[in-house]
């Protein structure tokens, strides 16, 4: 069976700083989430920060 990665969860100290870092890489922030839980849509993979 082939395994697939669907979700990457990152625990960070400063969510806003992490969001800015990943946005600078070109990641698009999803409309889902909140100030404490941010999702990025990576084309089939959800990356919460």
User: For 1-49, how does the pLDDT look when each residue is reduced to its tens digit (9 = 90+)?
Assistant: 676 766 778 889 998 999 999 999 998 888 887 878 888 877 766 566 6
Whole-angstrom distance, CA of residue 24 vs CA of residue 3? 29
Residue with tokens 């404490």: 36
Entry field: residues in the chain = 49
pLDDT at 17: 93
- Which pTM does this prediction carry? 0.67
Domains in the chain, CATH or no CATH each: 1-49 (3.30.720.120)
């Amino acid at each position: 069976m082939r395994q697939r990665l669907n979700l990457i969860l990152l625990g960070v100290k400063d969510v806003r700083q992490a969001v800015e870092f990943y946005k600078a890489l070109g990641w698009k922030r999803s409309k889902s989430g909140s100030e404490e839980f941010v999702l990025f849509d990576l084309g089939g993979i959800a990356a919460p920060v």
